[in-house]
Amino acid sequence: MIKQAPLFFTATVVVLFIIIGYVEYLFFKTNIDNKNDLIKTLQDKIAQSETITPNRSEIKRPEFHLLIFGANVFVSGASDMRPLTGIALATKVWNTGEPSVTTEWNLAIIPQGQAPVIAQLTKIPEHLKLEGPINSTVVRSTDALDEKTARNPVEKGPIEGVLLFYVPLPKSTVQAKTTRWELSVKDLYGVETLATKTMDEWLAR
């Protein structure tokens, strides 16, 4: 019995090591299997997301178009010494892309050979009578194109209205045949659409 005890002890130790090793194997295998399952789940979600979400380049965005079809240029009643000329632009805007409101309107007056002068967009009052050498016209707050298109998205059908600007230039300069007007509008993405006009183009009609 005394001689057999070491052999029994050794066998017991070997069996214990085998059991411990097997338990550790099962533990690590379970962890690896769980991680593999998690990775597969994430991969499936990514693949599903790529299928549902279109490529950014395929997302259709707004595509504005502008037309200036008329204008009333008048002398402002400002009392300061600096000349101030008013411009009531009759404008149409339409959109061949996704609907979008307008976020910004700008008008630059560019006399020939001179730097552009930025006109100030102004809120149209309830009733504004514009006197001209031949006839006069009235614009109202309900005509304001900037307010119409800021509240309601621009879609396919053209939206027509008036934009009122004031610029610190003499009326004669604003109306000069070679002076260029550049009207621009931005959509929700900040993309700018431009329309240009010179007095020459109107007189040539």
For 2-39, what is each residue's pLDDT tens digit? Answer: 455 566 556 665 666 666 665 565 555 666 666 566 55
The tens digit of pLDDT for each residue in 117-134 reads 999 999 999 988 886 554
In this prediction, residue 76 carries a pLDDT of 78
Which residues span the domain enclosing 107?
A: 64-203
**Sign of the alpha-carbon torsion through 126, 72, 163, 170:** negative
Q: Please indicate, yes or no, if residue 104 is contained in any of the structural domains.
A: yes
Cross-strand pairs, 161: 91
In this prediction, residue 2 carries a pLDDT of 44
Same structural domain, 49 and 79: no
155 versus 54: the higher-pLDDT residue is 155
Same structural domain, 107 and 181: yes
Same structural domain, 155 and 131: yes
Same structural domain, 40 and 78: no
State how far the Cα of 126 lies from the Cα of 141, in Å rounded to an integer.
Answer: 5
Contact call for residues 116 and 194 (beta carbons, < 8 A): no
State how far the Cα of 166 lies from the Cα of 107, in Å rounded to an integer.
Answer: 10
Contact call for residues 174 and 109 (beta carbons, < 8 A): yes
Same structural domain, 146 and 77: yes
State how far the Cα of 188 lies from the Cα of 205, in Å rounded to an integer.
Answer: 35
Q: Please indicate, yes or no, if residue 196 is contained in any of the structural domains.
A: yes
Same structural domain, 150 and 93: yes
Same structural domain, 109 and 181: yes
Report residue 135's pLDDT band, with 50, 70 and 90 as the boundaries.
low
State how far the Cα of 113 lies from the Cα of 90, in Å rounded to an integer.
Answer: 26
Q: Please indicate, yes or no, if residue 59 is contained in any of the structural domains.
A: no
Cross-strand pairs, 140: 127
22 versus 180: the higher-pLDDT residue is 180
Q: Please indicate, yes or no, if residue 115 is contained in any of the structural domains.
A: yes
In this prediction, residue 63 carries a pLDDT of 95
39 versus 82: the higher-pLDDT residue is 82
Same structural domain, 36 and 134: no
State how far the Cα of 139 lies from the Cα of 122, in Å rounded to an integer.
Answer: 13
Question: Average pLDDT in the 68-87 region?
Answer: 80
Same structural domain, 18 and 102: no
Q: What is the CATH number of the domain that holds 180?
A: 2.60.40
Same structural domain, 19 and 93: no
In the structure encoding, which two tokens stand for residue 76, read together? 């402002």
Number of domains comprising the chain: 2
Report residue 78's pLDDT band, with 50, 70 and 90 as the boundaries.
low
192 versus 75: the higher-pLDDT residue is 192
Give the amino acid at 117. Answer: V
In the structure encoding, which two tokens stand for residue 19, read together? 């059991």
Same structural domain, 86 and 155: yes
Same structural domain, 37 and 75: no
Q: Please indicate, yes or no, if residue 165 is contained in any of the structural domains.
A: yes
Vertex 46, ends 45 and 51: CA angle to 5°? 95
Task: Please say if the pLDDT value at position 164 is more than 60.
Answer: yes
Q: Please indicate, yes or no, if residue 58 is contained in any of the structural domains.
A: no
SS3 content of the chain, % helix, strand, coil (to 5): 35, 35, 30
